[in-house]
């Protein structure tokens, strides 16, 4: 038997060049307003079911909302039953290695499902799909996958599904072209909160981060498009929106025709009748005085700011290419606290970055104590192939990293508990999100400062604002008692 030649996927896959990425300039950004799903594709999913598993950040979650919107316009219906699903998509994250491991582990489980149901369409999308090594691994070791697409061509999904159904080979389409912004994509939003992308990509190139390569350069949506979407969400009755960007407060830096930055956008959205507005994730370098001035006006702008620091040591910050110093960060924190005295600050911290000494780690602990964060996302450094940090010598034993992480978390927990205890006896406004994960008799919601509150109340309160008196203050959430009827809707 003559061996068939292996298929060359390079004609479909054009991954971002890690060498050329930093050279990218101000290429023209085209905004498309004419998106539509062709009529012949709107029946492709009739009587079929979809299931999406999402990994990673809010940006991935929001991408999933768009994918669900596209699938449902094609006639697909959602299901949680894998055996019932006709299409299963894994929307992936590339930030940490363990997220990648989970995806490949999941593909191993799905192989048996595909064997039992050959008509099942299996797809991998999201940030991992933008990595050439990942695509090569899938095409060689997981050939039962039907479809691979990236973060820049989600709008192409209806056409890719059609091709996958009628092709006898894996369909791979990953674009490195990142300049276009596609407006008017359908989204399926559920609940009382909505995510709103205001920009895409990142130009910071922190040495540990793969995002500038998987999500591409910074591209801001036009202010009129963002504001129109927020106004529409307000009309639909959403109670809270989260403005999203890989580096959200770099918004508008790429505009050449107008002088309009993130502070200006927040000031305009502040005037829209939507109860709560949040944003993530901000970068200290782009947190300017005007933004602080606008946030200090409060109203529907929440007094919770997530401000990733990553390390409290200048040498490590330099090796991370964060482009600010410990002193600059603490000066920024002081400005924010002066303008918004009741602000709650949270952060991201990486432990065990290559070469981190005990003294450098202690600088991080001392910064945590000086800032007094309410909480933090803390991680042991995870090398990502293709990033500069992955080439650095990682000479810190794993057990040392684990011990440092525990000490850091112990320090953070002290401040979390102190912050929660300050609320004892106070009555706070809570947006009720649903039942507690651990007790269906208890409701869970969030304060303006994003603290999780548990209290006993009727299910009719879900989606409402209520007043809750705080009676207990554990470390990771607070307990309260409902004191009166909903304060507003």
**Region 427-482: CATH code:** 2.40.50.140
Give, in words, the CATH class of 189-421. alpha beta
Q: Residue 20 pLDDT > 70, yes or no?
A: no
Delimiting residues of CATH 3.40.50.2300 domain(s) in the chain = 11-173
Q: Residue 1 pLDDT > 50, yes or no?
A: no
Mean pLDDT over the full length of the chain: 91
The answer to whether 266 and 291 have CB atoms below 8 angstroms apart is: yes
Question: What pLDDT band is residue 11 in, cutting at 50, 70 and 90?
Answer: very low
Residue 141's contacts (CB-CB under 8 Å, 6 or more residues apart) are none
- The alpha carbon of residue 66 and the mean position of all alpha carbons in its chain are separated, in whole angstroms, by 14
Look at the alpha carbons of 154, 156, 161, 166 in this order and tell me if their dihedral is positive or negative. negative
Q: Residue 18 pLDDT > 70, yes or no?
A: no
DSSP-derived secondary structure for 373-419: -SEEEEEE----TTSGGGGS---S-HHHHHHHHHHHHHHHHHHHHHH
Delimiting residues of CATH 2.40.50.140 domain(s) in the chain = 427-482
The pLDDT, as a whole number, for residue 94 is 81
The pLDDT, as a whole number, for residue 27 is 61
The pLDDT, as a whole number, for residue 217 is 86
Burial of 337 (0-12, 13-18, 19+ CB in 10 A): middle
**Average pLDDT of the segment spanning 119-128:** 94
> What CATH architecture is 11-173?
3-Layer(aba) Sandwich (3.40)
**Range from 36-40, 109-113, 171-175, 406-410 carrying the lowest mean pLDDT:** 171-175
Delimiting residues of CATH 3.80.30.20 domain(s) in the chain = 189-421
**Range from 92-101, 126-135, 213-222, 317-326 carrying the lowest mean pLDDT:** 92-101
**Range from 35-49, 125-139, 338-352, 467-481 carrying the lowest mean pLDDT:** 125-139
Residue 28 phi, psi dihedral angles, 5° rounding: -60, 135
The pLDDT, as a whole number, for residue 185 is 94
Q: Residue 79 pLDDT > 50, yes or no?
A: yes
Interior angle at CA 68, CA 66 and CA 70, nearest 5? 70
The pLDDT, as a whole number, for residue 167 is 85
The pLDDT, as a whole number, for residue 22 is 52
**Average pLDDT of the segment spanning 204-225:** 90
């Amino acid at each position: 038997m003559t061996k068939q030649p292996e298929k060359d996927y390079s004609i479909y896959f054009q991954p971002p060049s890690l060498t050329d990425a930093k050279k990218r300039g101000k290429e023209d950004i085209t905004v498309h307003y004419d998106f539509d799903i062709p009529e012949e594709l709107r029946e492709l999913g009739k009587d079929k079911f979809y299931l999406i598993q999402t990994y990673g950040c809010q940006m991935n979650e929001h991408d999933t909302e768009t994918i669900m919107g596209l699938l449902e316009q094609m006639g697909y219906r959602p299901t949680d039953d894998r055996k019932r699903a006709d299409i299963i998509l894994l929307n992936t994250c590339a930030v940490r290695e363990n997220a990648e491991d989970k995806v490949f582990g999941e593909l191993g489980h799905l192989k048996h499902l595909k064997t039992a149901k050959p008509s099942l369409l299996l797809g991998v999308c999201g940030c991992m799909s933008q990595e050439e090594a990942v695509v090569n691994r899938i095409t060689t070791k997981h050939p039962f996958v039907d479809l691979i697409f990236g973060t820049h061509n989600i709008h192409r999904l209806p056409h890719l599904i059609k091709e996958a159904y009628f092709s006898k080979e894996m369909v791979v389409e990953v674009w490195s072209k990142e300049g276009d912004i596609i407006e008017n994509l359908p989204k399926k939003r559920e609940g009382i909160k909505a995510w709103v992308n205001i920009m895409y990509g990142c130009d910071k190139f922190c040495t540990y981060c793969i995002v500038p390569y998987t999500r591409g350069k910074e591209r801001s949506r036009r202010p009129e498009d963002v504001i129109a979407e927020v106004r529409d969400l307000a009309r639909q009755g959403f109670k809270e929106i989260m403005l999203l960007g890989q580096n959200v407060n770099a918004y508008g830096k790429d505009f050449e025709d107008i002088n309009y930055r993130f502070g200006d956008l927040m000031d305009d959205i502040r005037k829209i009748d939507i109860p709560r507005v949040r944003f993530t994730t901000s970068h200290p370098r782009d947190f300017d005085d005007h933004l602080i001035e606008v946030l200090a006006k409060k109203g529907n702008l929440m007094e919770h700011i997530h401000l990733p620091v990553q390390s409290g040591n200048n040498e490590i910050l330099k090796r991370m290419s964060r482009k600010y110093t410990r002193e600059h960060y603490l000066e920024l924190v002081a400005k924010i606290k002066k303008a918004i005295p009741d602000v709650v600050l949270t952060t991201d911290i990486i432990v065990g970055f290559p070469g981190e000494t005990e003294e450098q780690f202690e600088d991080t602990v001392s910064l945590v104590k000086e800032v007094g964060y309410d909480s933090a996302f803390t991680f042991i450094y995870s090398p990502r192939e293709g990033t500069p940090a992955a080439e650095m010598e990682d000479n810190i034993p794993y057990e040392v990293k684990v011990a440092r992480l525990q000490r850091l978390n112990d320090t953070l927990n002290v401040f979390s508990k102190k912050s929660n205890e300050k609320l004892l006896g106070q009555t706070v406004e809570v947006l009720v999100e649903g039942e507690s994960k651990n007790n269906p008799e208890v409701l869970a919601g969030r304060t303006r400062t994003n603290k999780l509150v548990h209290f006993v109340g009727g299910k009719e309160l879900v989606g409402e604002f209520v007043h809750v008196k705080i009676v207990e203050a554990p470390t990771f959430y607070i307990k309260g008692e409902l004191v009166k009827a909903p304060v507003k809707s």
